[in-house]
Amino acid sequence: MSDAVLHLENVGRTFSQGQEKLLVLDSVALDVKPGEIVGLLGPSGSGKSTLLQIAGLLEPPTTGVVQIAGVDCSKARDAKRTEIRRTKIGFVYQFHHLLPEFSALENVMMPNLISGVPKAEARAKATELLTRMGLKDRLSHRPAKLSGGEQQRVAIARALANDPVLLLADEPTGNLDEQTAEIVFKQFLDAVRDRNVAALVATHNTDLARRMDRIVQVRDHHLVEM
């Protein structure tokens, strides 16, 4: 049993295209420990997003073991995988995917409310998270009234709302200009480290990746340390 929050062992993923088999990942091994931020590099189409989908229990590996917080999820039933995603994993994507009809505060409250947390407690927690992200004066604003950087900060706060042990991010600043990306990424790193969360962050930006604790790269279907 690994002490890592995310433990991947001999993970492979193959897709079928008619009679052909398309190999995407082969014999991938990775441990991400509490408080560690790992940058995931690789060109488009290399398998970065597939690896994040597997790590996030959104799709199963063809081969290998996926452990989240010591629980082997490789062959878990859908209900168990959903429970672990809801309680243990946070997701941040390139596009914020905020619910447009709800305020920033309500968007961040949503994961707690779905988990059965009392409304007052969910509100207090969402307020604290958004304040830490520099959005104290934007709580009542709907996404359309927020800038791109503000929207992404709300998305990061929402990903942290259920106190995940693992945060998975796919190009979290890829849709922002350079100056805004710098601000958002610093707040992202601070928020993750403050909470001792394990994080795997896919990015094309090597400058941002160098600010993480270590870097791995998808290369020829394998994962290699840089």
- Determine which of 32-36, 90-94, 221-225 has the lowest per-residue pLDDT on average: 90-94
Q: What is the mean pLDDT of residues 180-188?
A: 84
pLDDT at 176 over 90: no
Predicted TM-score (pTM) above 0.75: yes
pLDDT digits (tens, 9 = 90+) for 63-105: 999 999 988 998 788 888 899 998 999 998 877 789 999 999 9
pLDDT reported for residue 131? 92
Distance of CA 91 to the CA centre of its chain: 3
Question: Strands 20-32, 89-92: parallel, antiparallel or unpaired by DSSP?
Answer: unpaired
* Strand 214-219 versus strand 222-225 pairing type: antiparallel
1 pLDDT exceeds 60? no
Q: How many CB atoms are located within 10 Å of the residue 1 CB? A: 8
Helix (H, G, I), strand (E, B) or coil at 137: helix
Tell me the pLDDT band of 2, cut-offs 50, 70 and 90: low
pLDDT of 13 above 70: yes
> Which residues is 166 bridged to in the sheet?
89, 198
Helices (H), the chain: 48-55, 78-88, 104-114, 119-132, 148-160, 178-194, 206-209
CB 105 within 8 A of CB 119: no
163 sits in the region (left: phi over 0; alpha: psi -120 to 50; else beta) called left
- Assigned CATH topology for domain 35-63+77-225: Rossmann fold (3.40.50)
CA dist 165 and 30 (Å) reads: 16
* pLDDT confidence of residue 21: 86
